[in-house]
């Protein structure tokens, strides 16, 4: 049970969740700044205005990473900090660019490899006003391409690029559930599929640009990050439930990965959605297919899946099935956490690593997010929070499951990033839910305190990674 000797490990964060400083040094508003101002959208009425103040605490964050022994750090760039209005003809904010240039230099000086995400859901708000941002097949991909090019040119020392984080969430949570910015659920039957298509085009345009103008000089790599939950049939003896499991993975992962690896959407999606699922033009297909140097995998939980007998509803986004925590026998997938959607199941992690590897011809995989919240954690004292044994157990079981997949299943996993480095703004849940391996005291200047889980990581990975 081991991992490759060049394995990267560390922690992950996202710009809007940790940076704060929303009006500092020329940053423009993002759709999340606007969304947070709408009453009732964020559970505790909060926002990322201050968050963890990481924009002003980069040295503190790097020192923390070094203290914890991390060899890599995955973070995202705030698009509206680089191009405040967002568009390809809009001016660049040099102070924003300089901030990330120095941050990357300082990470490298500390011996920490940067993995940089260009887009973690925070579209510049001006693009939403101009053309409804992600809904534009014509404008959005080209504006994103220009922004990506600015960062490729500014950060030639970065060798690991992520175009988009979890386009499923940008499509479904924002345009079906309406709980993520910009929260447009007015056409649940069609908008998610349009947005998903446009995000694939944006990703592919950025990859094409990187490969044609920057990859040779930097000797780097670029890919997209997709989320996905593991699945088990509600009734393992029912072929319809087994088939539903496959369909669930296709509607979540295959939706984006199949066009990249195979050139089109899964047939199960075409069958259910019909002409609501966009068609690729020949030019788009050529652009999208093959646009991944690695597979970025975000994973947290698992479910039992039960097929439905009735026809799919118009706004169904999962493949006409039920997603459950209990199976036919009454077995539970895992213990409750603070997040209603998340229950630990490390065996599901190994299983999903295998499914991705088999389906997509064993690509290089970076696990770019994995972690858990703890039920009632925010109600505890700081001393109690630092003793996060539930999270310790989660990471121990999941990292070992990954090592088994690497050793025994032929999975080519080359990196792992715990979510998250620190407690932060948890989107629609505000600050009531904590995912951090480090406690953040929001009432005392956002001071960081490593939890037991943060200190576990170095010991865990040193025991798993092969010695050269």
**Residue 161, strand partner residues:** 116, 222
Please report where in the chains the tokens 């088994």 appear, as a residue. Answer: 404
For 6, 14, 157, 163, 413, the CA distances from 294, given in Å and listed in that order, are 15, 20, 18, 11, 10
Query: In which element (H, E) is residue 304 found?
Result: strand 302-307
- Of 19, 126, 128, 166, the active-site residue reads 166
- Of 221, 246, 250, 369, the active-site residue reads 369
- Asked whether 386 and 401 are in contact (CB, 8 A), the reply is no
Task: Classify residue 420 as exposed, middle or buried by CB count within 10 Å of its CB (0-12, 13-18, 19+).
Answer: buried
Instruction: Quickly list DSSP for 220-264.
Output: -EEEEEEE--EEEESSTT-HHHHHHHHHHHIIIIIHHHHHHHTSS
Cα distance between residue 154 and residue 100, in whole Å: 9
**Residue 76, strand partner residues:** 117
Reduce the DSSP state of residue 468 to 3 states and report it: coil
Please report where in the chains the tokens 């405040």 appear, as a residue. Answer: 84
166 as an active site residue: the answer is yes
> Which of left, alpha, beta for 429 (phi over 0: left; psi -120 to 50: alpha)?
alpha
Cα distance between residue 157 and residue 14, in whole Å: 20
246 as an active site residue: the answer is no
**How would you label 145-165 residue by residue, b for 16+ Cβ within 10 Å and e otherwise?**
bbbbbbbbebbeebbbbbbbb
Cα distance between residue 52 and residue 397, in whole Å: 29
CA 423 remoteness from chain centre: 16
Q: What amino acid positions are annotated as catalytic residues?
A: 166, 369
């Amino acid at each position: 049970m081991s991992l490759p000797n060049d394995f990267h490990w560390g922690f992950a964060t996202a710009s809007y969740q940790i940076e704060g400083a929303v009006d500092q040094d020329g940053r423009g508003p993002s759709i999340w700044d606007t969304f947070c101002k709408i009453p009732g959208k964020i559970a505790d009425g909060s926002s990322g205005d201050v968050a963890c103040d990481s924009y002003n605490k980069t040295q503190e964050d790097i020192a923390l990473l070094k203290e914890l022994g991390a060899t890599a750090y995955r973070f995202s760039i705030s698009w509206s900090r680089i191009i405040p209005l967002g568009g390809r003809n809009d001016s660049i904010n040099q102070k924003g660019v300089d901030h990330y240039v120095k941050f990357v230099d300082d990470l490298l000086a500390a011996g920490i490899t940067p993995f940089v995400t260009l887009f973690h859901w925070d579209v510049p708000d001006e693009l939403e006003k101009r053309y409804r941002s992600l809904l534009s097949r014509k404008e959005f991909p080209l504006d994103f391409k220009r922004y990506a090019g600015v960062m490729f040119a500014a950060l030639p020392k970065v060798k690991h690029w992520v175009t988009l984080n979890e386009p499923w969430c940008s499509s479904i949570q924002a345009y079906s559930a309406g709980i993520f910015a910009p929260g447009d659920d007015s056409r649940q039957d069609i908008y998610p599929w349009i947005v998903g298509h446009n995000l694939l085009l944006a990703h592919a345009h950025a990859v094409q640009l990187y490969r044609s103008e920057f990859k040779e000089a930097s000797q780097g790599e670029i890919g997209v990050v997709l989320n996905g939950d593991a699945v088990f049939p509600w009734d393992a003896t029912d072929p319809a439930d087994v088939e539903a499991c496959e369909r669930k993975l296709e509607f979540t992962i295959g939706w984006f990965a199949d066009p990249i690896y195979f050139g089109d959407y899964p047939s199960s999606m075409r069958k259910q959605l019909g002409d609501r699922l966009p068609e690729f033009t020949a030019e788009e297909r050529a652009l999208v297919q093959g646009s991944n140097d690695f597979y970025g995998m975000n994973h947290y939980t698992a479910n039992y899946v039960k097929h439905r007998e009735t026809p799919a509803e118009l706004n169904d986004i999962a493949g006409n099935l039920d997603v459950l925590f209990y199976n036919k026998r009454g077995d539970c997938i895992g213990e409750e956490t603070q997040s209603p959607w998340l229950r630990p199941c490390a065996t599901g992690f190994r299983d999903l690593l295998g499914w991705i590897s088999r389906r997509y011809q064993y690509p290089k995989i970076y696990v770019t997010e994995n972690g858990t919240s703890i039920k009632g954690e925010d109600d505890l004292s700081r001393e109690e929070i630092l003793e996060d044994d539930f999270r310790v157990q989660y990471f121990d079981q999941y990292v070992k499951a990954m090592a088994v997949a690497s050793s025994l299943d032929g999975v080519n996993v080359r990196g792992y990033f715990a979510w998250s480095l620190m407690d932060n703004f948890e989107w629609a849940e505000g600050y009531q839910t904590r995912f951090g391996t480090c406690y953040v005291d929001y009432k005392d200047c956002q001071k960081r305190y490593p939890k037991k889980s943060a200190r576990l990581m170095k010991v865990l990975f040193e025991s798993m990674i092969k010695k050269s």
